[in-house]
Every structure is written in C-alpha cells, then in structure tokens.
A and B are shown apart, each in its own frame.
Chain A
Amino acid sequence: DIVMTQSPDSLAVSLGERATINCKSSQSVFRSFNQKNYLAWYQQKPGQPPKLLIYWASIRESGVPDRFIGSGSETDFTLSITSLQAEDVAIYYCQQYSTAPPGALSFGGGTKVELK
C-alpha cells in the first residue's frame, strides 16, 4: 500500500503570510495514460468532517478560495495557502487515490495550521 507522509506536523503562520504543507507518497501517484496525479487535499476544522479543497493535485473544488493552491507531481506535492486568513486555521490532509482495489486508499497524517 502507498504510504503518505506529510510535513511539518504543525506550523504557525501570521495572518496574510504564506503557509506551505508538504505531502510525499511512497510510490508515484501519477498515471501516464491520463497525465493525472491522483492526489487530493482536505481541510478539517474542529468538530467538522473534512472538506475537499483540491483534487487531481491542483484542481480547486468549486467554492474554494483561490488562495489555496495545489502543486507537485509523482511523489512530491504541496498545498500552499498564499495569504493565510483566520478561517484557515485547521488540520490539512492529503489523500492518494491512485491505488486500485483491492489496494487501499490512504491519507497523510495531517498538518495543523495555527496562527502565529
């Protein structure tokens, strides 16, 4: 199974500054047949379910502010929040979906973003 490793575990960022979260997969999640990276990002606030932010590594879900930017390919990915707002304080998870059944979907361990 593919192991997803996020870094850092937590980071503190000032309002208006940039937050950068890294996600590394133990195997490539890029598929050459469709040229897509099978990687999604979620935001989870306390007491709430995860909310989809990004899929196909860089496509923003409808309604997600454009300050959230997903990038990367193969095994190394980044979620950037270009100008942190107070409402962005949350835990962020990456998820790979390149594995076909009977393999498993897998999530990164999460990165907690706090205000400095």
Chain B
Amino acid sequence: QVQLVESGGAVVQPGTSLRLSCAASGFIFSDYAMHWVRQAPGKGLEWVAVISYDGTNKFYAESLKGRAIISRDNSKNTMFLDLNSLRAEDTALYYCARVGFVSSWFAWFDYWGQGTPVSVSS
C-alpha cells in the first residue's frame, strides 16, 4: 500500500534552516511528481512546492520562493524540502503528497503523509 512518511520537523529559531524528508513506499516513486503542502495551526491548506518525477523541474509558492529548495533522491524513494531563513509565519504542519496521476505535475493529491510539524519561535 502507498505510504508517505514525513520527518525532520522541529522547533527552531527565526532565521535558521531545516530539512524535511518524505519517505515513500508502495508505489514506483520515480514515476510521480511530488508536492509539499503546509497547514498553519487552525488554518487551511497552502501549496508549497512541486518537483517533477525526475527532479529536473521544480516550482514554488511565492511565499517561499528563494527560501525553499525541493529535491528528491529516486534511488532512495525520498523527497526533501530545505527551508531557509525561517520566519514565524512558516510555522505549520508540512505534508508531502503524491500527485493523482503519472503524467502530470499539477493534479489532485491522492495520497498524503501524516505531516511533520515545524515551529518557528524565538
């Protein structure tokens, strides 16, 4: 069965960096574009970034452009999100999600992880 497991979330101070990971199993990871979506406490869903199936193309939400780098290692079925210059407003639960069908970057999300929490506070 498809599983996505995020890790790496932590309580950090403003201005610091963090690397989030998403370990995938139960499907051919290298066939699918993958996304990060975040949810601030008590708030709605915000799309963060997408990486193509082969890692060659990456796009980001404006709110994180220049401060985030998405990457993947298909040999390890793992996706990453490096967050830099963290701000209080980056505090959220960060989900990784699989795009709904193989041939698209942007689609619905058919599988989500449980999320990893990031808290930015001084």
Contacts and interface: CB of A to CB of B under 8 A. Distances in A.
Contacts of A100: 105-106
B108 A104 contact: no
A105 B112 CA distance: 16
A65 interface: no
Contact of B109 (A52, A101, A108): A52
Interface residues of A, number: 25
A55 B100 contact: yes
A106 B47 contact: yes
Contacts of A109: 44
B100 A52 contact: yes
Contact of A99 (B35, B100, B106, B113): B106
Interface in B86-114: 95, 100, 105-110, 112-114
Nearest to A97: B106
B119 to A, nearest CB: 17
A68 interface: no
A109 B44 CA distance: 6
Contact of A104 (B61, B107, B110): B61
A1 to B, nearest CB: 8
A61 B100 CA distance: 10
A51 B113 CA distance: 10
Contact of A101 (B62, B100, B106, B112): B106
A49 B47 contact: no
Contacts of B10: none
Contacts of B44: 93, 107-110
Interface in A16-66: 40, 42, 48-52, 55, 61
Interface of A: 1, 40, 42, 48-52, 55, 61, 93, 95, 97-102, 104-110
Interface of B: 35, 44-47, 50, 57, 59, 61-62, 95, 100, 105-110, 112-115
